[in-house]
Structure 1
């Protein structure tokens, strides 16, 4: 009798100190996704115990993003390969595969009609590419940088605009399609880690390792000023995410905080303090409907509470490295699963809860 999986035991994201982690959001608001090893993990945002895993990459997966239609996910890996696959079927059938870069893919962005996509990262001849998703044909270029590009985003309405942020401390602004370099934004003094347009397309922000966030006009690229005055955070900023109504955004920083910003006033409304240990550095964030998520260096997924910024509503913990051993222990009529991973962590889960929650374990 063939065996069938009953549950998916999803891992936490695999993190690296000083490296931003991109969290992708489902345009329908149901799921979020991230990467670990050669896997893309999709989790239900209301109940993260409900999970699915895509495992078809041959190399370490570095980023994954939903198409605005919600029907496809594009995931990129360390070899520069992009795989576009179906989200509506359990098998996640591959639709297209391309290799736009010769090095690691760092970020992916789609146009609002799900027809074009931008891919950035490392490479020899170029650090970014823009192409049609169904043919791979070029629809412009991403230029103006001399080092790897960390982040890219596309304005979600016409006329399209594209912004990219790089290790060369600059951001580039392009118009299209076909996308052509327009000018360079030079406000940052260190790496530009994240660039994001607001959902309404009126503004975009750049965030850097210098602890600063700069805001610009989404249509013209005109500078509108910094958030938070001289510095937005006391440490490097690794990710930003806008509210659905474009009036606020959150920023995740190496100073172990996440800040909620009123964009109109340019000031922080709330500061979420998430610990004092090195592993409490915040390297990724996502604003999905009413949920505010951040990811720490430890890989923990925090559900932030606006009413209690010093204590998350929920923190999803577990393994982020390969599991080396697994056993079931019975004591006083109760059974527990013990799992040990490569990073020295041991997790314990009562067997009685296995049908309702997850051990958060993944074999890499």
Structure 2
């Protein structure tokens, strides 16, 4: 018996309004690298559903850059630490070095052409950057000449070595190396606002800078001398320019801007050659805050929207050829629907974004429309194909409905009295919502009843017309809930454990109910009609096992396999456990499944899927 990672559907990059977000591509143009939460993701350009996750940072990550050799990656975080690690396609991800560069956020990193030296810059207190060797962290120069945070750095890949940094002081500082030392501030006063990006051309001939003043300046790559203002044209950007990247032939650049456009430029002619515009209406989420031009034969450009979406661009197309969607924040809810025997994963996150995932393709579609404005705390799918819907509840105190076939919100949202904790759905499409002190039944958007409780509800699950409710006092209640009739209590367990019930899950046939607690323990009950067990109605609840107790944190989710012989569980302890019903003392552990905690698990015939605080979805191969 085993459980191993089969695939990682990566989180999207974290973005901040008014700030650039670095994107990087490897020398072969096969992968991109970016920061998200406390992880670094290396993502295949040809198959975005394939990615690698680096999780050794302890602070929120900010930037990642490939070494020219392609064997190592340098990544920085908000605490000022840079880590150098193995990123080769078949590598182990082993950390080669960890260096404290500044007392503050790392904004950018650059490698020299030999893959031996790195310069990291950012918002420090004593200094704004430093130059070190990649293998040992020894000093190989200093960053000076700035009076405010440094936003970007670039190193010329040819000899003699040159470097450039740009920052909030509106200056570009030019360095000679190695060791790197201050040489000049070319074009002082040319930029009239923060400078957000700089880059040497691949052949080392040119250097370019872009900034919040909408300007683009070109410099000599060897001397630093100002050569021209490229942006002095009527069809240039009308908003801050957040990023710049060179074509592999060093003849063109691509820029991205807060004006919701990405533009390519002919450097010699100083003119725009192509413009992509995003969004039909003015929408802040469509601002373009990052861009990279990988060294590929097909000329693909990848830009980053403020929403986190990655846009694949080609100069032969006026629109993006592909848009990679997903989550960049904690995934807080997970559900599964099956329409025409095609399972779809539904995920909701901390910011209220709801996504539908095509399991076969590993791609996501963001549900547009009148969505949630805050944390999505629960998702539930109907079981009838004639009424295929997803119900979502969020901390905006609303129930919203999604048409599974059309992937759109429809109808008016239903207002709740208090903040929802969980949601489930019966076979009759009754929506059951756990609120602060009550559990309310909704039918066609209207309140249709209430399930009486003695304690605050904490978890829900449903199978057919049976609804299970776990409470803060660790009591378990089972109700029969049908349209047009008062809910009837079918069974109860007054005290499952000493701690709050945090997760409930029925097996596919409804004969088993797994109960997870805040202490990390799981209890499994057999649900049947008869006169044994804890009986208060027409259903009996008999304890099958109380030995599933290996988690060290709150149980967040449990799922049975389709046959009901095994189960998986996720916890805030970051681990996933695989359990055997007939051998309760035996288990398989997937350690550190999700950084910062596992929030959801689902077991389909295609495999086990999990979601976590790292905003990723992982597919697990289970052998039983």
What range is the shorter-chain TM-score in? Answer: over 0.9
Task: Encode CA deviations 1:44-89: one digit per residue, 9 max, x unaligned.
Answer: 1111111111111100010000111111000000001011001134
SS at match of 1:279: helix
Instruction: Out of 3-12 and 329-338, give the one that drifted further.
Output: 329-338
Please say if 1:193 is aligned against 2:196.
Answer: yes
Match of 1:68 in 2: 68
Aligned residues: 360
Match of 1:282 in 2: 288
Match of 1:39 in 2: 39
Unaligned runs of 5+ in 2: 366-610, 615-624
What is the CA RMSD across the aligned residues, in angstroms?
Answer: 1.5
**In the alignment, which of 348, 353, 357 is matched to residue 362 of structure 2?**
357
**In the alignment, which of 295, 302, 312 is matched to residue 311 of structure 2?**
302
Match of 1:268 in 2: 272
Please say if 1:222 is aligned against 2:225.
Answer: yes
Match of 1:2 in 2: 2
For the residues of structure 2 that align with 1:72 and 1:334, how far apart are their CA atoms?
A: 40
Q: Is the 8 A contact 1:238 1:254 kept in 2?
A: yes
For the residues of structure 1 that align with 2:244 and 2:230, how far apart are their CA atoms?
A: 12
Match of 2:370 in 1: none
Please say if 1:321 is aligned against 2:329.
Answer: yes
For the residues of structure 1 that align with 2:43 and 2:68, how far apart are their CA atoms?
A: 18
- Offset at residue 362 of structure 1 (A): 5.6
SS at match of 2:2: coil
Q: Is the 8 A contact 2:332 2:612 kept in 1?
A: no
SS at match of 2:7: coil
- Offset at residue 332 of structure 1 (A): 4.3
Superposition pairs of residues 176-255 of structure 1, within 5 angstroms: 176-185=177-186, 186=188, 187-229=190-232, 232-255=236-259
SS at match of 1:163: strand
Q: Is the 8 A contact 1:239 1:251 kept in 2?
A: yes
SS at match of 1:98: strand
Q: Which has the higher contact order (CA 8 A, sep 6+)?
A: 1
Q: Is the 8 A contact 1:9 1:362 kept in 2?
A: no
Q: Is the 8 A contact 1:10 1:358 kept in 2?
A: no
SS at match of 1:7: strand
Match of 1:28 in 2: 28
- Offset at residue 291 of structure 1 (A): 1.2
Match of 1:172 in 2: 173
State the structure with more CA Rg: 2
For the residues of structure 1 that align with 2:239 and 2:123, how far apart are their CA atoms?
A: 25
Residues 200 and 37 (structure 1 numbering): CA distance in 2 closer, same or farther, change over 3 Å?
Answer: same
For the residues of structure 1 that align with 2:125 and 2:169, how far apart are their CA atoms?
A: 15
- Offset at residue 109 of structure 1 (A): 0.4
Runs of 4+ displaced beyond 3 Å:
331-334, 358-362
For the residues of structure 2 that align with 1:188 and 1:142, how far apart are their CA atoms?
A: 20
- Offset at residue 329 of structure 1 (A): 1.9
- Offset at residue 102 of structure 1 (A): 1.0
Task: Encode CA deviations 1:128-177: one digit per residue, 9 max, x unaligned.
Answer: 11111122111111110011100000111001111000101111011111
Match of 1:119 in 2: 120
